[in-house]
Structure 1
Amino acid sequence: MAPSARRLRQKEAAWPRSMARYEQREKLGAGINGEVFKAWDTQDKLIVAIKRLSGSGNDGLIISGIPEVARESMCLSACRGIPSIVQHRRTYADAYQSENGDSFIVMDYVGRLNLRGYMQRRVTRRRRFSEAEVRRIMKQLLEGAKAMHGQGVLHLDIKPENVLLDDGTEDRKERPKKGAIEADVRGEVKGDRVVYKIGGFGMSQKKGPGKSLPEVTILTPYSAPELLLHSREYDDRVDTWGLGCIMADLLSGTGASMFDGESDIEIMAKVFGIVGTEGIKDWSGYSALAADRKSKLPGDGGISRLRHKFPSRKLSSAGFEVLSGLLESNPEKRLTAAEALQKPWFGKQRRGFGSFFKSCMVGVLPEI
């Protein structure tokens, strides 16, 4: 990027006077509709995370007007008090004063690492997630989703990048040093103390009586089959599909998405190549899909190959019951978060010799 372009971008991203109480620190991440910064709240004396939403679109971000800002803030606020959800503090909508003004959503600062980065780190260090670790992570995320759905909120963008890790190693009340510093994501993570929190509510929607849900046009390898087929007949089980994808990623140990693809068609081919097309064709909403959408389904999808992908040596039958229930292509048969948490896999675990041996090794082997 040319120096003049950099200066222009910095000028456009400058915070307004209404944000004077916050001292901006390093950027933590960015998406299509916003960028997130670490900041010091000079009034409350603690570190926070601030998402800047673009009011102009001149900075490469999707324009977020008052309706978009209000929607995201409302969904976050509805999830206040849920331990596995990033907590909303306040919103500053500069667009009220200026047509092209930016808006800012202030949230609790969670940590330096997201689940994608953690998975990739584990790949680099050749340390796969055990089934017990995957169960612990999934329990937290499903509990968060259950509570979120209980408040009528659909996330619609569940993916590892939107799951943040809090391992309790950062002091939120210690003022960060001034100057541009990179977030340290290389240090030790205390895996048994990590709290996993769902963030990234930029696409979220609040359900309401008689309220029709919009078509989801921004699709990812974590989008449910009904969304890939551009159906507007969806509910909170689009989020549990995304959680099923995360569970599969954790078990596969590659650090990448199991359904990754360069286009919606490639993603669909991978999805139905593994879970099959039988389920989606049995869905009551399938007949209402446009013919050109149905034609995108793989012709030889057939039955599910999910168990072949995750054989018993990788995943117990109780664990597979949860995985296959979350990655059910028929949304009417897919597990809700509440239903998934009732499965035996999340019940009290029996401790055989293998688990006893592993528990004896805690504190002997280095935690990475």
Structure 2
Amino acid sequence: MAASAGKKEAAWPLTMARYERLEKLGEGINGEVFKAWDTEDNLIVAVKRLSGSGDDGFIISGLPEVMREAMCLGACRGIPSIVQRRATCVAACQREATDSFIVMDYVGRLNLRGYMQRRVRRRRPFSEDEVRRIMKQLVEGVTAVHAVGVLHLDIKPENVLLDDGTEDRKQKPKKGTVEADVRGELKEDRIVYKIGGFGMSMKGRSKRQSEVTILTPYSAPELLLHSCEYDDRVDTWGLGCIMADLLSDTGVSTFDGESDIEIMAKVFGIVGTEGIKEWSGYSRAAAGQKSKLPGGRGISRLRHKFPSCKLSGAGFEVLSGLLESNPEKRLTAAEALQMPWFHNRRRGFGGFFKSCVVGVVPET
């Protein structure tokens, strides 16, 4: 659940006095993020406030949760495509419920969700080359995260931030300018995509993990079944969802739904149920969760949704490999990065025309 709109913002403690709050950038399930001015370093930063009480409408983040997120961000220090942590502020005494703060580099004024919606409003669909460029950066980032032993567990467009290099982080902005910045023009050929939102992340892996109880339209099928048998390929499923969103040109999630059952219906209605039923962990999933799988044909309709005129064969190899419902057959981030699609040159007009002619034939 999110905080109610228009509620009074929580006051910052004296330990955060060096950070002058400028504007609210957004919020998630466990806190909110602000654009702030670091008065000591004379630099724009992003400050994430994590709720310590829950009485403000956010899910409580106690010391263990805060330190887990900080530890994961610390493990990702130096990875260019990851939002970098600058400081963590927690109360010295945890006997009373208090807010915690994570200070991070300020990346940019827009996230990938906002960018997709902007392109929809302007009737500018993403070309396959643009999707390839975005996905390569994201796959490289997730590959690096996994290499240091971190699972992100919340890969989605809202957690991808855009930096086009146009904002001066050493110049203190005037209050009330964030909304104007969001509507401003982007240097699209210079955009760098950085992954943030490590609130659900964890470091270290075992055969049986903690159950992920907060599910979204970007949650992998094994998580939708409430299985504790998962690995870093839950993140590559999220990458596949983002790729599908970019190709769909709707600005909303491909698997959007108001409940777990609705999300499952969307997911398995497109990728089919054959794959997940072949997964070795399927037999150990709770019967009550498996009963929520939609009936009907179990084959994938993914190619029908993204025909050849929309996505080349090499691109579809990546999309279908990321959106493989059987996690044992799903591409890892490192494997996806080696796929030919990421190394192909742009198709010429003749190749594009040929693919569109082929694409008019319905695929089964």
Normalized against structure 1, the TM-score is what?
0.91
CA distance in structure 2 between the aligned counterparts of 1:33 and 1:180, rounded to whole angstroms: 25
Give how far 1:152 is off: 0.8
Give how far 1:212 is off: 4.4
Q: Which structure 2 residues correspond to residues 77-92 of structure 1 after superposition, within 5 A?
A: 77-92=74-89
1:306 corresponds in structure 2 to 302
Q: Which amino acid aligns with 1:219?
A: L
1:251 corresponds in structure 2 to 247
Among 43, 58, 61, which residue is 2:40 paired with?
A: 43
1:227 corresponds in structure 2 to 223
CA distance in structure 2 between the aligned counterparts of 1:301 and 1:94, rounded to whole angstroms: 54
In the superposition, relative to structure 1, how do residues 344 and 19 fare at CA in structure 2: closer, same or farther (>3 Å)? same
Q: Which amino acid aligns with 2:84?
A: Q
Among 108, 112, 115, which residue is 2:112 paired with?
A: 115
CA distance in structure 1 between the aligned counterparts of 2:281 and 2:149, rounded to whole angstroms: 22
Q: Is the 8 A contact 2:51 2:98 kept in 1?
A: yes
CA distance in structure 1 between the aligned counterparts of 2:177 and 2:122, rounded to whole angstroms: 28
Q: Is the 8 A contact 2:63 2:94 kept in 1?
A: no
Among 265, 268, 271, which residue is 1:269 paired with?
A: 265
CA distance in structure 2 between the aligned counterparts of 1:181 and 1:79, rounded to whole angstroms: 28
Among 16, 21, 26, which residue is 2:18 paired with?
A: 21
1:104 corresponds in structure 2 to 101
1:286 corresponds in structure 2 to 282
CA distance in structure 1 between the aligned counterparts of 2:60 and 2:306, rounded to whole angstroms: 41
Give how far 1:177 is off: 2.1
In the superposition, relative to structure 1, how do residues 350 and 123 fare at CA in structure 2: closer, same or farther (>3 Å)? closer
1:363 corresponds in structure 2 to none
Unpaired stretches in structure 1, ≥5 consecutive residues: 357-368
Instruction: Write the deviation string for residues 129-165 of structure 1: whole angstroms up to 9, x where unpaired.
Output: 0000000000000000000011111111111111110
1:295 and 2:280 are equivalent in the alignment: no
CA distance in structure 2 between the aligned counterparts of 1:298 and 1:224, rounded to whole angstroms: 16
1:213 corresponds in structure 2 to 209
Instruction: Write the deviation string for residues 211-239 of structure 1: whole angstroms up to 9, x where unpaired.
Output: 84210111111100000000000000000
Give how far 1:312 is off: 0.3
Please give the secondary structure, in 2, of the residue aligned with 1:83.
coil
1:140 and 2:132 are equivalent in the alignment: no
CA distance in structure 2 between the aligned counterparts of 1:354 and 1:115, rounded to whole angstroms: 31
Please give the secondary structure, in 1, of the residue aligned with 2:182.
coil
Higher deviation after alignment, 347-356 or 289-298: 347-356
Q: Is the 8 A contact 1:90 1:106 kept in 2?
A: yes
CA distance in structure 2 between the aligned counterparts of 1:49 and 1:337, rounded to whole angstroms: 28
Normalized against structure 2, the TM-score is what?
0.92
Higher deviation after alignment, 32-41 or 295-304: 295-304
Please give the secondary structure, in 2, of the residue aligned with 1:96.
coil
Q: Which structure 2 residues correspond to residues 56-205 of structure 1 after superposition, within 5 A?
A: 56-94=53-91, 96=93, 99-178=96-175, 182=179, 184-205=181-202
In the superposition, relative to structure 1, how do residues 37 and 129 fare at CA in structure 2: closer, same or farther (>3 Å)? same
CA distance in structure 1 between the aligned counterparts of 2:202 and 2:17, rounded to whole angstroms: 30
1:322 and 2:318 are equivalent in the alignment: yes
Please give the secondary structure, in 2, of the residue aligned with 1:319.
helix
Higher deviation after alignment, 173-182 or 279-288: 173-182
Aligned length: 348
Give how far 1:270 is off: 0.8
CA distance in structure 1 between the aligned counterparts of 2:228 and 2:323, rounded to whole angstroms: 19
Instruction: Write the deviation string for residues 298-343 of structure 1: whole angstroms up to 9, x where unpaired.
Output: 1214110000000000000000000000000000000000000100
Q: Which amino acid aligns with 1:26?
A: E
Give how far 1:70 is off: 0.2
Q: Aligned-residue CA RMSD in angstroms?
A: 1.8
Give how far 1:95 is off: 6.1
Give how far 1:96 is off: 3.1
Among 225, 232, 237, which residue is 2:233 paired with?
A: 237
CA distance in structure 1 between the aligned counterparts of 2:297 and 2:93, rounded to whole angstroms: 51
Q: Is the 8 A contact 1:49 1:109 kept in 2?
A: yes
